[in-house]
Amino acid sequence: MERQVTIHGTRMCRISGWGHRLGKRTTDNLDPLHSPLNASFEKPKGYLNQPNIEPDAIICGCTTGTAGIVGLAIVACGQAPETICHVLFTCPTATEVWRSAHIQPPPAGFSQNSVFLNLHFLVVCTKRTQSQQSNIRAFPWIMWNLWKNRNALVFERCRITATSCVSKSLEESDIWYAVNEDHQKGNLPLEPTAPLQDSWKAPPLRYIKCNVGTAWNESSMMCGASWITRDAQGVPLHHSRRAFPSPVSKREADLQALLCTIEAMDNMKQMNVIFETSSVEVRDVLLNVCHFPKLKYLTDHLPRLLQGLGDWFLNHVFSSKNNVAFAIAESVINHHLSQSYVALGGHRWLAQTVQMESRSV
């Protein structure tokens, strides 16, 4: 067994006799489409031309089964043997992830023994024009997070939900494409400015929207938290600012701000509330509570407080949809406004911003 290190630092193994050569994989028991596809493709990107590696060898992550480790069957679904193709495509956990991402498999389903065929199908789908607006382009991140989730289940005994896996994959792919597309379009002529699509949106009728903001600075002794509620017409109903001693981390500060906001809505007997926060840290904590045992003293209170709000939703949004709440919270640090309060309506010095956002109603 030879070991290599990828750019991600992941150890990759090549087991002698496993048959990594593409020519050796075209046996009768494999998919009939494998042979013509194999002949039409160049060497995979994973090929490394090094003297100590056989030509045409593919560096691949070996599972516990193929590495010869005894007693480690698939803990995700109880099936065996554990293969790369099974973990990434045909395992019930993987099937649920692909379905949650709205990525349709081939008509006959993903191949059960050929990673090559499955990758070929996904790559072809990304080249279709209509795929630019779908989730298909995020498939590399979905595969990467499926493998990471498998390792988390084996080594940390922590199961990541399909929703969390898809959400993280889509966010990572959006960031990557945004950075690279912006770089490619930097020299293109500017087009007429379109209306801002990522601004605050009004809630449906009979609902109120509560935006939560936090201002945390490691060098500051104080932390600012705020919230503002608006109705379906975009009219501010209440707003609040709170200053409290700065926690040791932004994650804890953001979670405390959310907890105080939900507690305020419960005390004010508000019903049908849509909470919006831009904190990535809060999202990660709530989607993977088992990873943050030190914050259990905060997360344990959330279910009890949310029960009294009727219908409620907790959404993670871009910061551009949370400008007003952020501005109120930042006044604690920027202007040293440490007085905590709850008031009717909105802040007067933010009236123009609120009015502009209400035009999206």
The answer to whether the predicted template modeling score (pTM) of the entire model surpasses 0.75 is: no
Going by C-beta distance under 8 Å and a sequence separation of 6 or more, which residues neighbour residue 68? none
How far is CA 93 from each of CA 80, 122, 159, 232, 251, rounded to the nearest angstrom? 14, 18, 10, 39, 29
How far is CA 222 from each of CA 29, 254, 255, rounded to the nearest angstrom? 66, 13, 15
Would you give per-residue pLDDT tens digits along the chain (361 residues)?
444 444 344 444 443 333 333 344 444 444 444 544 544 444 444 444 444 433 333 334 444 444 444 444 455 566 656 789 988 998 888 889 998 888 889 988 899 889 999 999 998 888 874 544 478 889 999 999 999 988 888 888 888 888 888 888 888 888 888 877 655 554 444 444 444 447 889 999 999 999 999 998 877 778 899 999 999 999 999 999 998 887 878 899 999 999 999 999 999 999 999 999 999 999 999 999 899 999 998 999 888 889 888 899 999 998 888 889 998 998 888 878 888 899 998 877 788 888 887 776 5
Residue found by looking up tokens 């990759």 in the block: 12
- Two tokens at 137? 């382009």
How far is the C-alpha of 135 from the C-alpha of 166, rounded, in Å? 10
- Two tokens at 326? 């952020």
- Cα–Cα nearest to 272, from 216, 209, 322, 321: 209
For domain 208-358, which architecture applies? 2-Layer Sandwich (3.30)
Domain boundaries, the chain: 1-62, 71-178, 208-358
How far is CA 294 from each of CA 201, 248, 299, rounded to the nearest angstrom? 34, 12, 10
